[in-house]
Amino acid sequence: MKNDDRIDKMETEIEEDCINIVVKESPIASDWRKIASYMRMTSDMERIADNCSDIAIYIRKIADYKEEIEEPKGLDEMFGIMRGMVRDTFESFQQGDVVLASSVIDEDDVVDQYFEKMNKEIGELMKQHPEHIQQYIDYILINKYIERMADHSANIASWVKFVVRGELDLKFTDRYSKESQKD
């Protein structure tokens, strides 16, 4: 949570650098592609940081409850997949690896399946243990933030593919505009 402001500042600095390049350097088409992509990527990176901070808030809340409840099954696995996606996204960016970027995009579907399964499971737990509804609501929010982090990773991976190949996936742009409205 402490580093969220640093990430916000870094996003602003990168955006300013990109704008300065446009204003001062008169970039050519391939440079424009990179500049626009980097600005979009940094926005997704900043949102991942926001989601991390939000998860930390809910973890603290859960830890403060007097009565501990069992963590929903599959949450650790879902988190592990998302964490791998974030790592692979940054590696694909650093290496210009479109194969790795494509695998990140594919993993998003796996996280989406976990998300749906977790929501159903948590709903059932709420019915069985109504005295713990607030804790389960907190887990629903954590589940959503994990799913959103996976979406942002897939968005970044799609931009990596655009930077490397120069081809914008129209399916991705439609998805991106719909996904960004959720935040």
Predicted TM-score of the model (pTM): 0.83
Per-residue confidence at 17, pLDDT binned at 50, 70, 90? Answer: confident
Residues sharing a CB contact under 8 Å with residue 146, sequence separation 6 or more, in sequence order: 51, 55, 75, 78, 79, 82, 111, 115
Which band of pLDDT confidence, cut at 50, 70 and 90, is reported for residue 178?
A: low
Give the pLDDT confidence score for residue 145 in this predicted structure: 97
Which of 150, 89, 93, 163 minimizes the C-alpha distance to 118? 150
- Give tens-digit pLDDT for 34-66: 888 888 889 999 999 999 999 999 999 998 988
CA 44, CA 91: separation in Å to the nearest integer?
15
C-alpha 131/C-alpha 137 separation (Å) is 12
Burial of 36 (0-12, 13-18, 19+ CB in 10 A): middle
